[in-house]
Structure 1
């Protein structure tokens, strides 16, 4: 009998390819498709228009529900109007629906996968004694489960130190980064002379660094993503953050196809986040396109960007500018950049890592493979480390 996963989504989105701006929703979609193709049964609990390749799609956030919870909004232009407080109506009502629907389907040996920390802890409280509950894609702070998969070593260590107040490791915690289908990205034979910033238009994403570095080099900067408004050469958001430049072009939301072309045709992609980025999926998407990355020298980028090979890491605007100036002097070609990214962040490595993790969890939870047992995962997963 195939191992069965109950995959819990978020109240504000649809688990389909269109919601590219929500990293956790895309993680839900990709994870469901990947594990189903590998032979797992996946029951997805999500929005009314979800299409994620699951064995069964259970609607726990209908259009009517979402209109009630969030009102009308255009996700192409605006940030998702969600709060991360488990007492708020959208969490209370969606969790109640999940409990009702999952109670009809759950059986011993099933795994419950959640992705919203304490906002979904009620599922752990109600089902956690009988079934293992896994936080399968931790890029957030409020984690609690006994079985955790972090998106990067950087984020795992940050959570241990700052949130769990512990310097002790946990043997059933793992790092399994976000994963990507290489068929969704390609190397362009027609690269253009522009730089890319793709992400939310907020100050902490380091937009001003990308703007200034490209300005100093006299190169067009194409920005894409949510939250940006434009008045001539002024680009701003509703929080008062703004940048200026006649070399800037903002194209708004990009769908899956547009996203791939934007990254493939670019000379480089900026990932100048000023906080400790838990993962930063755009960076890896760029590498899958053979497009080098200029990124901050902290957070998950330290694991992704191999200095002088697939990009550069920087500390100051001067360093970012110099990195961009020398982007054609990298050691690796576009083909080598892409091949390395696929080895580290492709579906094969991810699905084998999750399969090992889940089999270990089931053994530990039901008593078949504790810490002192002879159980071990496939050694091939160590052949090509994430870092």
Structure 2
């Protein structure tokens, strides 16, 4: 068994580290990371709001509900978690960072890790503790600052490398102490069903960038039912089956019974958790042909990656022929906590060698 390591894990200022806040993918990554590392026998000090249901060694409140009410007013932080102001000097960031710094200072020990997912908005926490290693442990965003980084996909890692490098390909360098680890899920939240109902599903932010129009046009052309769930702008009037934001139980039910789940993101999706969740339910996915999907969706096995409306329609017609059990089994083997936890442990063990011989460790 590996020697125990110590992690200071800091949540965002606008949510609680509970399963209820599932519309915020990063909050869920934070709480599940705490669960994984705690269950492996490591010490996890988790810093966040007043509510927490994640296993950890110690939970420390650094933001109160009264402060959240002052900062965010009447915003529903459950249905609109992305209404966070992404400005470094906004009071919710500065105050929460200050509280985190104070509490970490009381508890820190030599060779602890600080684990953050707020990018440059949480950089002041890292700057205060240069003697500790700060790791951005699930990067699917562009405001990256840490020396040690875990990316959600190779597609996104390479995107970040390319964006920060000169045009000369020989100067686009990798970093040995970065890594790629996929997102990870509690399998029990995603029930398997080998019986599907007669509808397709789009679940996620109802915004153009997520490809909602592609799902609509495909289903309209085929004359099939599309159920839409998730936060965002008011849905188009043709969405007769818009069911709003759903909790994690209803989310699993909808995914498990759909013929397929559309995840046709128009941008380079760093991970796109919805598609992994759908596959955990044994449900095929229909995606675009770039970003993470090129790594996770085997064409004609887990679903289909498409580039034209004809291809999206052909995919929707073909999904019923796929092996739902194979989809489920492959997803559990790749995205379950049990599968991913050892990858994180191995990565942090690699980082501990930097306190000794580092890259030259025998």
Q: Same fold (TM over 0.5)?
A: yes
CA distance in 1, matches of 2:80, 2:100: 27
Pair 1:259 & 2:233 matched? no
Do the aligned residues in 2 keep the contact of 1:76 with 1:252 (CA within 8 Å)?
Answer: no
Deviation at 1:219, TM superposition (A): 1.1
Pair 1:324 & 2:326 matched? no
CA distance in 2, matches of 1:97, 1:79: 21
Deviation at 1:321, TM superposition (A): 1.3
Residue 184 (structure 2) aligns with: 179
Deviation at 1:23, TM superposition (A): 0.5
Pair 1:143 & 2:144 matched? yes
- Residues 50-69 of structure 1 aligned to structure 2 (within 5 Å): 50-69=52-71
- Residues 188-203 of structure 1 aligned to structure 2 (within 5 Å): 188-203=193-208
Residue 383 (structure 1) aligns with: none
CA deviation map 1:328-381 (0-9, x unaligned): 233xx11111111111112223111110111111211x12x411222xxxxxxx
Deviation at 1:142, TM superposition (A): 1.2
Do the aligned residues in 2 keep the contact of 1:224 with 1:251 (CA within 8 Å)?
Answer: yes
CA distance in 2, matches of 1:255, 1:187: 17
Residue 284 (structure 1) aligns with: 276
Gaps of 5+ in 1: 230-234, 236-242, 375-387
CA distance in 1, matches of 2:351, 2:176: 11
Deviation at 1:164, TM superposition (A): 4.9
SS at match of 1:358: helix
Q: TM-score, normalised by structure 2?
A: 0.95
Pair 1:354 & 2:347 matched? no
Do the aligned residues in 2 keep the contact of 1:76 with 1:226 (CA within 8 Å)?
Answer: no
Deviation at 1:79, TM superposition (A): 4.8
CA deviation map 1:125-147 (0-9, x unaligned): 1102x111000010010112111
SS at match of 1:15: coil
CA distance in 2, matches of 1:164, 1:74: 39
Q: Decide which of 286, 289, 294 is 2:286's aligned counterpart.
A: 294
| Greater CA drift, 312-321 or 21-30 | 312-321
Q: How many residues align?
A: 356
Residue 83 (structure 2) aligns with: 81
Residue 152 (structure 1) aligns with: 153
Residue 242 (structure 2) aligns with: 250
CA distance in 2, matches of 1:188, 1:45: 37
Q: Decide which of 329, 334, 343 is 1:344's aligned counterpart.
A: 334
Pair 1:208 & 2:213 matched? yes
Deviation at 1:13, TM superposition (A): 0.6
Task: List structure 1 segments (4+ residues) > 3 angstroms apart after TM superposition.
Answer: 75-80, 163-166
Q: TM-score, normalised by structure 1?
A: 0.89
Structure 2 CA distance for partners of 1:164 and 1:108, relative to 1, 3 Å: farther
Gaps of 5+ in 2: none
SS at match of 1:326: helix
Q: Decide which of 9, 23, 26 is 2:11's aligned counterpart.
A: 9
Do the aligned residues in 1 keep the contact of 2:15 with 2:81 (CA within 8 Å)?
Answer: no
CA distance in 1, matches of 2:232, 2:98: 31
Residue 378 (structure 1) aligns with: none
CA distance in 2, matches of 1:132, 1:262: 41
CA distance in 2, matches of 1:341, 1:81: 31
Deviation at 1:272, TM superposition (A): 0.6
Do the aligned residues in 2 keep the contact of 1:215 with 1:245 (CA within 8 Å)?
Answer: no
- Residues 152-171 of structure 1 aligned to structure 2 (within 5 Å): 152-165=153-166, 167-171=172-176
Q: Decide which of 284, 299, 306 is 2:298's aligned counterpart.
A: 306
CA deviation map 1:4-23 (0-9, x unaligned): 11001101111110011100
CA distance in 2, matches of 1:82, 1:171: 33
Alignment RMSD (CA, Å): 1.4
